Amino acid sequence: MDLLERLEQYRREEQKLAWEGTFGEYFELAVKTPRVAQLSHARVYEMLMAAGAEGPSGGRSYGFFAEELFGVEPALQQLVEYFSSAARRLEVRKRILLLMGPVGGGKSTIVTLLKRGLERWTRAEAGAVYAIAGCPMHEEPLHLIPESLRGEVRAAYGLYVEGELCPVCRSALAERYGGRHEDVRVERVVFAEKSRCGIGTFSPSDPKSQDISELTGSIDLATIGEYGVESDPRAYRFDGELNVANRGLMEFVEMLKCDEKFLYSLLTLSQEQSIKTGRFSMIYADEVIVSHTNETEYAAFVANKRSEALQDRIIVIRVPYNLRVSEEVKIYRKLLSESALKDVHLAPHTLKVASMFAVLSRLEESKKAGVSPLKKMKLYDGEEVDGLSRADARELHEEAAREGMDGISPRYVINRLSNAVVKDDAACVNPIDALRALKDGFEQHTAITREERERLLNLLAEARREYDGIAKREVQKAFVYAYEESAKTLLNNYLDNVEAYCNKTKLRDPITEEEVEPDERLMRAIEEQIGVTETAKKAFREEILIRLSALARRGAAFDYTSHDRLREAIEKKLFADLRDVVKITTSTKTPDAEQLKRINEVVDRLVAEQGYCTGCANELLKYVGTLLSR
Ligand SMILES: Nc1ncnc2c1ncn2[C@@H]1O[C@H](COP(=O)(O)OP(=O)(O)OP(=O)(O)O)[C@@H](O)[C@H]1O
Ligand SMILES: [Mg+2]
Ligand SMILES: [Zn+2]
Ligand SMILES: [Zn+2]
């Protein structure tokens, strides 16, 4: 990268965003491109849709959120639908959006995505916003058109104008521009929370000291002496969050924690599209208000009679936790890639096992017979579960009204994983480490009740049992592969013995060159794997020999796949050998050279093909060893 060149380029791009002209010129632009004058909700909606949407209603996914949010499609769909209606200026746009859900369920993330999205969007051509230059609320220049002319403008140009000039612009029009509307300066603005344009945030703090001016601006003590009256706009600072967020979006953090007086400011804004500020008449404002809260606070709010007017003005969107294991894994991947853990090796299945536990903790017990939490979890994740269908999944979810509103949050899981790494200074985290870290976490947590702890411990055990099955299968798979050579050797060895046995000849020991009897023990060890009895062994061996000679006559060799039952026997024999091999690694005895070689082969296979590092591959073998020796 050439920094100087990039800086040059950066300045050129910034320059492109700087447009300035008169209101007359702006009006021409608005006639040509009416979207520049769209209202805030329509702008947000266009931004959302510009990133694309796919899938059927109910499971629609939106490109805008696709990289960042997983498993909360219903909430996102509701959100987009809200903007869709609000964009058409339906009554809903006069309501405040309230995201309601459990801690760490993604509420703030949704709002942040909207805010950052708008910042980017207004820098793009399609999202360009223009404002009266010098207006503290960067207001829509079309406000300059007098009320009495608006009907004609609408009829002639199709431009809808809503809202009145703010006190500052009104006085500027009269004094600075001598009343000539068309001369008023207009400029392009880009939204940025940092420069306090188009994006605002209000967080409740101590209700005693928090002042309404944070929302609606305040008297400018430095200039009030100069202008004498408080109703002179020059003696007022229109710098409250509601002013700043005009034309864009304001986030109202934890809205229901706020003092009522703030809520009433919101009520007028949403109802009348205006802000009551100081000594001024109402000031028009056009902005999206998004807030968030948790279920308990919301319930208290709804129970409070005095809040009825406000309740009526709120649209609640439930944002429950994700309930699909595969989506939960994506959440963790995203969070980990942003954290200090990105350089730590995660053994395969670690995130999946943590996800299983998290999802299990969020599920409600089903009243339906035979539906265990584990089955429900798999069903929700789209797995085949015998006896249950897709329709059952829907029904199960509908029966559990509060599902997803409680349980373990993604944030908790990530914190616990980080903790495990930091505490042990680990280079690698495996599923068992993860489960242990999760457990330590809620054992330390005093806020968790005894029953809840009990429930979580049971779910941990459940996730762990699920993992045990996965671990065993994983090792067996690697084993068969790493032992393909061994399988061949074992097969040839068996065939040589069978041949000698059937022809009543002897074998020559490859090393000592001595003549030896066929190895009955070896043959039986293999045959027993598939239930060939002592009395049936002769027939079985003859059958094999016939197959062998038939192949030989055609010039073909008998291989591992030539006889299905024999192949099965060989594989099972290898698995049985594995037990010993793996057990040995966990025992105090040191493995001999041959065993060591085998272990290394399995480890290599796990590393090369399954994403393990040597550390966690060895851990896996050790773990499966203890499972097998139980
Ligand atoms: N469904 C999800 N998809 C992607 N990331 C998620 C999801 N749910 C939570 N997260 C991640 O978990 C973290 C916590 O989420 P966030 O802060 O948005 O939650 P919140 O609902 O605002 O919580 P709180 O009530 O504690 O304020 C964030 O980093 C967020 O990205
Ligand atoms: Mg939050
Ligand atoms: Zn103004
Ligand atoms: Zn590892």
Tokens, residue 495: 């065939």
Is the beta carbon of 256 within 6 A of some atom in ligand 1? no
Regions of the chain where pLDDT drops below 50: 588
In DSSP notation, 140-168 reads: -GGGGS-HHHHHHHHHHH---------HH
Beta strands in 121-225 (DSSP E): 129-132, 185-189, 199-202, 218-219
Residue 404 Cβ contacting ligand 1 at under 6 Å: no
To test ligand 1's pocket by mutation, which of 70, 76, 108, 418 has the most ligand atoms within 8 angstroms of CB?
Answer: 108
C-alpha span between 431 and 623 (Å, rounded): 11
Q: Whose CA is nearest to atom 23 of ligand 1?
A: 104
Residues 130-139 pLDDT 10s: 999 999 999 9
Dihedrals phi, psi of 76, to nearest 5 degrees: -65, -35
The pair of three-digit structure tokens given for residue 107, joined into one six-digit string: 């509420």
Does the CB atom of residue 411 touch ligand 1 within 6 A? yes
CB-ligand 1 contact for 72 (6 Å cutoff): yes
Task: Determine the Cα angle at 594 with ends 621 and 614, to 5°.
Answer: 35
Ligand 1: nearest atom to the Cα of 68: 4
Residue 530 token pair? 């598939």
Q: What is the Cα–Cα distance from 471 to 346, expressed in whole angstroms? A: 15
Whether the CB of 410 sits within 6 Å of ligand 1:
yes
Indicate whether residue 83 lines ligand 1 (CB < 6 A): no
Locate the DSSP E strands across 74-157.
96-100, 129-132
- Which residues in 117-150 are b (16+ Cβ under 10 Å) and which e? bbbebbbeeebbbbbbbebbbbbbbbbbbeeeee
Reference 604, options 585, 617, 594, 586; nearest CA is 617
Cβ atoms within 10 Å, residue 253: 17
Residue 406 DSSP code: S
Q: pTM of the entire structure? A: 0.84
The finding on whether 70 has its CB within 6 A of some atom of ligand 1 is: yes
Q: What is the pLDDT of residue 584?
A: 59
Bridge partner list, 291: 98, 252
Angle (CA) 266-267-273 rounded to 5° is 80
- The reply to whether ligand 1 has any atom less than 6 angstroms from the CB of 71 is yes
Specify the 3-state DSSP secondary structure of 337: helix
At residue 261, the pLDDT reads 76
510 token code pair: 């490859």
Cα 430 to ligand 4 centroid, rounded to whole Å: 7
What is the token pair recorded at 613? Answer: 């590092």
Measuring from atom 29 of ligand 1, which residue has the nearest CA?
A: 335
Please choose, from the candidates 607, 616, 605, 618, the residue with its C-alpha nearest in 3D space to the C-alpha of residue 428: 616
Amino acid residing at 309: A
Ligand whose nearest atom lies closest to the CA of 104: 1
Give the per-residue pLDDT at 588: 41
271: CB partners within 8 A, 6+ apart: 94, 313
Q: State both tokens at 498.
A: 């069978």
| Best CA proximity match to 525, nearest among 485, 504, 494 | 494
R_g of the chain, CA atoms, integer Å: 36
Among 275, 349, 266, 345, smallest CA distance to 310 is for 266
Q: How far apart are CA 296 and CA 293, in angstroms?
A: 8
Is the minimum distance from the CB of 74 to ligand 1 under 6 angstroms? no
Distance 549 CA to ligand 4 centre (A): 48
SS3 label, residue 622: helix
Q: Say how many Å lie between the CA of residue 426 and the centre of ligand 1.
A: 26
Say how many Å lie between the CA of residue 106 and the centre of ligand 1: 3
Q: Which among 67, 100, 109, 297 is the best mutation to test ligand 1's pocket, defined by most ligand atoms within 8 Å of the CB?
A: 109
Pocket test for ligand 1, best of 411, 412, 415 (most atoms within 8 A of CB): 411
For ligand 1, is residue 107 a contact (CB within 6 Å)? Answer: yes
The pLDDT score that the predictor gives to residue 4 is 93
**381 closest CA partner among 465, 323, 466, 321:** 323
CA nearest neighbour of 48 among 130, 119, 118: 118
- Classified as helix, coil or strand, 346 is strand
Locate the ligand 1 atom nearest the alpha carbon of residue 106 and give its number: 18
- Give the closest residue to 325 by CA, choosing from 317, 333, 337: 333
Q: Are strands 274-275 and 283-284 parallel, antiparallel or unpaired?
A: antiparallel
